[in-house]
Amino acid sequence: MQISEAESVVMEVLWQRHPLAAEEVAAALADAQSWQEATVKTLLNRLLNKGAIRAEKDGRRYLYAPVLKREDWLLDESQGLLQRLFGGRVAPLVAHFSQHRKLSRKDIAELRKLLEELDDDAR
């Protein structure tokens, strides 16, 4: 499921806490975004139409909650990025970051640990 960058901002709010009314989503975004409530409602409607969220009537308002799981979205997004930029291969991605000094010592330690775990699983 393709969701835009703006829609993903709204989804992040709903993944953290739900169900929420449109005005609650707008309030949660007030510090980070200069969006009007109408903009948030437009984004919520787009997400509804895509099936990423659901709405439940609560009196005169609707409460929104995610249908799309964050983990599923992350997997789709990361696989798409990896495919578009590196032909679906992880090693060139890591090489790219290492060549541009974008890996901290902590990153390198975590990668080593992950590789050891993967190597143990392969045995």
User: What does the pLDDT average to over 77-102?
Assistant: 89
Q: What is the pLDDT of residue 118?
A: 87
User: What does the pLDDT average to over 9-26?
Assistant: 97
3-state secondary structure 53-109: EEEEEECCEEEEEECCCHHHHHHHHHHHHHHHHHCCCHHHHHHHHHHCCCCCHHHHH
Proportion of the chain above pLDDT 70, given as a percent: 100
User: What does the pLDDT average to over 95-121?
Assistant: 87
